[in-house]
Amino acid sequence: MTVRVAVDFGTSSTCVVVSVDGREPQVVVVDGQPLMSSALYLAPDGTLFVGQEAERHAALDPSRYEPHPKRRIDDGQLLLGNSVLPVTAAIRAVIGRAVAEARRVAGGAPVDQLVVTHPADWGGVRATVLRSAASTFARSVILVPEPVAAAVFHAASFARQEQGKDTLAVIDLGGGTVDVSVVRRVPQVGQRIAPGYQVLATRGDPNFGGADIDQLIVEHIGRQVSGTDQEAWDHLVAGRDLPDRRRRRVLWQDVRNAKETLSRHTYTDIPLPSPFPDVHLTRADLENLIAKQIAGTVDLANAAIAQAGLNTAELAGIFLVGGSSRIPMVARLVHQRCHLIPTILDQPETVVARGALRATAVIDPARTGRLPAEVAEGRQDPAVSGPHPVSTPVPTGPQPIQPHPFADPAYTGLPPERPRRKRAPAVLLTGALLVIVALVITLVLVTKGGDGQASPTSTTPDPALNRREIAQYDYRFAMPPDWKQTGGDPQRREVEIQPADAVGGPDLVYVEEAVLTYDSTADRIRAVTKLRADFDAAGAKFTDFDPDAHYAGKDVVHYRQGVTTNTGAATIDWYVVFQKTVQVSIGCRRDDAGGGTPRRADAACEMVVGTLTVVG
């Protein structure tokens, strides 16, 4: 018997699919549902409960309950009650429960191949944590980008498209984040179920998902009923006593159920504890609450399509996955703004898991009863590609820290021309193979929700200083409160931020990291000389090189880059900070039509550079 299992580890829920002896993948029912809650509960005796069991135990002591462990992947450790639990152990518990349920369906047989999906823009550090958590459950572990899995599942749709259209967009609106990817079909490699796919572009919003919609509904309810007894409402949504936390847990469950009801009906009622009256909520109310965020999601889709060098007319289709994609407003706005009718299934939460097994190599049990050698050994499957290797050998023993691809001598030190970055597939593969990371995971500040739980992002609001903070890779910085992360590139260890109300506009700040092979603090002259040589070789678009600039309170190297955007000519001011073996480049893009007047990017750029801290 040959058993293959796919686990789509989600923010709020996890889907597990099993295939036995090459048969059609089957969704595994857990606790009577096609989806398993990703929540976990650490009991005082050290027992970890996962799924519905965790949610039931949460009523005993909510401080020992973590509803969204995927959000905490950057944190390193979780504090549950008075116990500290490594994040890897938390994720391992969720994946382990999913695999155990799949083995139950397969009669207890061991798992030959485990496929675990992840967001397309996850870098090497997160992939290493995920692989470590999954490595004990199967003879072979393969990581597959979520949009690739979704694209493979929808492969049959290509037959209904015009000839020559082999690219599609996948919008994944899940419990914790929005991820938009543009995926292209590549020629079939070997004997596989479906052709392979390559991720051309990806954009995301780590600040919005199903859990954030729940938060907006709770805030809406508070505005309606808190006048009845403001003190009682404050205790309900923020009280730390055990009775308050228990009532709050029930409130959030009722809100989540109401949100799901509004995907099928035009209104619903939400019961509230005494002294508050029940609340009537309509679909129109919900759409008013989330209109800005859903519009931003569609803007991200258009931005990703443009980043891939395409327009919507060149796409074979747009596919919606993730539980929150059920909200009717999502499909409506995608149709209106992208001019394509999106495809969505009755159970969009299961698409990624079902596609994941199709995206990996076929087992031929009649021939060998075993996995093909290239999969069993954990080599990269050339039919499935993303920003980093889909499959790498599971590390054993101490692993050396590998240099980031920016440390490769071929790296020029200067970014390619924006906004469309073109990289040859060979360069992508070389960079991806180099990113085998065994770095210490940096403690990331995270936004706290109403129940004291972390939000799905590495951004943290700081009301006292009127700013938000982002911690990513080996650096940390602050940005204005009305800006947000709108994209990035794991290969360049890059984060892109823009004004939240002007996504796709000219104002944009890039922050990207290069790992050096020497100490640039002790040998700054070497670092500046190398950067100057790259600058001189880059061409006329790069000007005004200043090795001794001072900006936002920091000693930096400054130069300028001329680019052309969809709104016209623009200039990127680059500020390069050297610290030990890390080089961080901050690029601040402004359109040239503004003349000498201050622009929004000016203040944001000064804040980013001034607050930049290298933490690696």
Max mean pLDDT range (74-88, 361-375, 457-471): 74-88
**Mean pLDDT confidence for 527-550:** 83
**H or E element: which one contains 582?**
strand 582-591
Q: pLDDT higher for 443 or 527?
A: 527
The pLDDT tens digits for 4-55 are 999 999 888 999 999 998 888 899 999 888 899 999 999 998 899 999 899 8
User: From the CB of residue 514, how many other CB atoms can be counted at a distance below 10 Å?
Assistant: 24
Q: Any idea how long the chain is?
A: 616
Residue tagged 């936004």 (tokens) = 447
What confidence score (pLDDT) does residue 596 get? 43
* Greatest alpha-carbon span in the chain: 72
Q: When comparing pLDDT for 223 and 379, which is higher?
A: 223
Average pLDDT, the chain: 76
pLDDT digits (tens, 9 = 90+) for 417-432: 333 333 333 333 333 3
The per-residue pLDDT for range 115-134, each reduced to its tens digit, is 999 887 787 788 889 999 99
Please measure the distance between the N-terminal and C-terminal CA atoms of the chain and give it in whole angstroms.
46
* Better-scored residue on pLDDT, 616 or 400: 616
pLDDT of residue 435: 34
- For range 386-403, the mean pLDDT: 30
Compute, in degrees rounded to 10, the torsion defined by CA atoms 362, 365, 370, 375. Answer: 0
All domains of the chain in start order, with CATH: 459-614 (3.40.1000.10)
CA-to-CA separations, 215 to 18, 219, 236, 248, 286, in angstroms, rounded: 34, 6, 14, 12, 12
Predicted pLDDT at 207 = 76
Measured distance CA(17)–CA(98) in Å, rounded: 9
Q: Which run of H or E residues covers position 423?
A: none
- Three-state DSSP at 599 gives coil
Q: Bridge-partner residues for 280, per DSSP?
A: 269
Three-state DSSP class for 330?
helix
Contact in structure between 72 and 449 (CB atoms under 8 Å): no
Of the ranges 210-214, 484-488, 609-613, the best mean pLDDT one: 609-613
Which of 177-186, 208-217, 466-475, 489-498 is the most confident on average?
208-217
* Measured distance CA(495)–CA(513) in Å, rounded: 9
- 163: pLDDT strictly greater than 70: no
Instruction: Give residue 401's pLDDT.
Output: 25
Q: What is the pLDDT of residues 455-500, one digit of tens each?
A: 333 445 554 456 778 877 778 889 898 888 887 766 677 888 888 8
3-state secondary structure of 297: helix
DSSP 278: P
Lowest mean pLDDT across 181-195, 297-311, 506-520: 181-195
How many Å apart are CA 10 and CA 322, to the nearest integer? 9
pTM of this prediction exceeds 0.85: no
Q: What is the pLDDT of residue 154?
A: 76
**Measuring CA to CA, which residue among 311, 333, 303 is closest to residue 320?**
333
